Amino acid sequence: MKKMRPGRLTTAALSLATCAAAPVLAQDGTGLRGNLSFSTGLEVSDNPSLSSPADGNTLTSVTDLGFSLSSETRVDQFRFTLGASIQGEDGGSTTSADALDLQSSSASLAYTREGINSRLALSGRYDEAELDSEVFGFFVDGVFDPDALILEGGTRKRKRLSADFSTGLDAPFGVDLSFSTTTNNFVDTADLVDSDTTRVSATARFSISPAMTARLTSTYARSDEDDFLETSRRNQSIGAGLTTATNDGLEVSADITLDSTETLNGAVVASDDDGVGLSLGISKDRPDGGIALLLSSRIDESGRRTTARVSRDYDLPAGALSLSLGVVDQEDQDLELTTSVGYTREAAGGTLTANLVQSPTTDNGLAFLNTSLGVGFSAPINSISSWSANFSYGSAEELGAPGGDSRTSAAIRYSRDLSEDWGLNAGLRHTRISEEGADSRASSTLFVNVGRDFSFGF
C-alpha cells in the first residue's frame, strides 16, 4: 500500500499540469478550456480492503482530485487529464503521513488531427490502483478488464501509448497504420507478473468501384512476461479482404489470413502453431435498426477458435435495444454459447441502461470466457435532487475448466445541489468477490461527500 504526504501529491499534480499545459497556453485562439474537480467526504466500511478475515468497521476520509485541459478547433482536438483518490484512516483526524493512502491515480493525454484526406490520433495513459480496492473498476477505456477480478492485495501500474494514422480516407487508395504498447507492473502481488505488450498493424485499401473495396492486412503482436520462464508470445498474420455493398443496404465483408503463433520460454520454443484464418461478415440496414451475421475462425496461442454470432439492433422511440447470440468452438473444448444484450431507455421519469456481454479472450496462452453485466437507473426527485442505483457483475472462466473468479457490486446514491457550485452525494455500496478454491469476501460501505467543479477558459 503506497503512503505519501498530501503536500507532495498536490505539488506533483500541479507541477505536471503546469508543464503539460504551458506549450498549449502559449497558443492564442485555441479555445482552451480547463476544469478542476474536488470532492471530500467520509466512508464507514466493514471491510474496506476486501480481506479475509474482514477488517472490521473502519472510518475513512476520501478526497478525489481531478484536473483537465481540453481544446477543440476545426481540425484538431486536445485533452489532458489528471486524477487522484486519497484516503485517510480514522476520518483523517491524525496528522501522520502514514495515515494517508494514495488509492488510485491517473494521467492521460490525447491528441487528434483531421486533415482533408487523413487522420492522426495520439494518446498516452498512466493508471495506478490498488487491486484490493472495493471501487476497482471492471472496465478500462470501455473494455472489460480481467485484472478487476484479481482477489489479492497489491498495486497495478499500467502505462499505455498508442498512435493511429490513416491517409487516403476518400481516395481510391489509402493506408491505415496502428501502433500500441502496454506495460503492466505489479507491486506486492503474489501471482501476477510484470508484462509488456506491443501490437502493430497495417492495412492498405484499394477502391475497385464505388461499392467495392479490397484490402491487404498485416498484424504483429508480442507479449513478454517477467516470470520464471521468461515467457514470450508472438502472434502475426497477413491477409487479404474484400468489402462490397448493394443498393438495398446489404454489406458483405470477407477476409482470409495466414495466422501464426509462437510461445518461447527464454530462447526455447515451447509451442508454435499456424494455419489459415477466415472471417465473414454480413450486415443489412433496416428501417428500425440493423441485422448482422459474423463468422470467424482464427489461430492464436490458445489454439484455433471458431465463432459464429448473429445480432439485431432496434431503434426504439425512447431508446435503443441490441441483441446478439453466438457460439464459440475452442480447440479441444466443448461448444460454449455467448450472448450480448444492450438496452437504453430515456424518459421523464428516469434513464435505464442495461448491458450483458460475453466474449472469448486469450490470456497467458489460455482461453477464457469473460462475462460482464451492468444495470443502472437514475431519476430526478425534484429540481435540486436525484437518485441512482447500479449493479455490475464480472466473471472470467477458463474454457473447459470448472468454476472461475467473479466480482459483484451494487450501489444506491442520493445527490443534491447545495448551492449553484456545490453538491452533496450520499449512499450505500456493496461489493462481493468470489475465487475458485477460496472463501468469498464482501464489503458494505456507507458514504457521504461534498464536491464541486471549477471550469475556466483562456
Q: Tens digit of pLDDT for each residue in 222-231? A: 999 988 888 9
State the amino acid at position 403 in one-letter form.
G
pLDDT given at position 405 = 80
pLDDT given at position 341 = 95
* 135 three-state secondary structure: coil
Are residues 173 and 205 in contact, defined by beta-carbon separation less than 8 angstroms? Answer: yes
Tens of pLDDT, residues 192-224: 889 999 999 999 999 999 899 999 999 999 999
State the amino acid at position 115 in one-letter form.
G
Are residues 24 and 71 in contact, defined by beta-carbon separation less than 8 angstroms? Answer: yes
Are residues 236 and 219 in contact, defined by beta-carbon separation less than 8 angstroms? Answer: yes
| Assigned C-alpha cell, 218 | 498485416
Query: Locate cell 456507507: which residue?
Result: 446
pLDDT given at position 101 = 77
Rounded mean pLDDT, 22-28: 40
Tens of pLDDT, residues 378-392: 999 999 999 999 999
Which of 24-38, 57-71, 130-144, 239-253 shows the lowest per-residue confidence on average (mean pLDDT)? Answer: 130-144
Q: Is the pLDDT of residue 140 over 90?
A: no
Are residues 318 and 346 in contact, defined by beta-carbon separation less than 8 angstroms? Answer: yes
State the amino acid at position 37 in one-letter form.
S
Q: Is 180 exposed, middle or buried (0-12, 13-18, 19+ CB in 10 A)?
A: middle
Q: What is the dihedral of CA 355, 358, 359, 363, to 10 degrees?
A: 110
Rounded alpha-carbon distances, angstroms, from residue 212 to 251, 253, 254: 10, 10, 12
Are residues 233 and 222 in contact, defined by beta-carbon separation less than 8 angstroms? Answer: yes
- CA pair distance 378, 391, nearest whole angstrom: 12
Number of H helices, E strands in the chain: 1, 24
Are residues 163 and 198 in contact, defined by beta-carbon separation less than 8 angstroms? Answer: no
Q: What is the DSSP letter of 393?
A: E
Alpha helix positions (H), 313-443: none
Does this model's pTM top 0.95? My answer is no
Give me the sign of the Cα torsion angle 113, 119, 120, 121. Answer: positive
Q: Is the pLDDT of residue 19 over 50?
A: no
Contacts 24+ apart (CB under 8 A), 142-150: 144/357, 144/359, 144/370, 144/372, 144/394, 146/361, 146/363, 146/368, 146/370, 146/396, 147/184, 147/192, 148/394, 148/407, 149/394, 149/395, 149/396, 149/405, 149/406, 149/407, 149/433, 150/189, 150/192, 150/405
DSSP string, 164-199: EEEE-TTSSEEEEEEEEEEEEEEES-SS---EEEEE
- CA pair distance 453, 458, nearest whole angstrom: 17
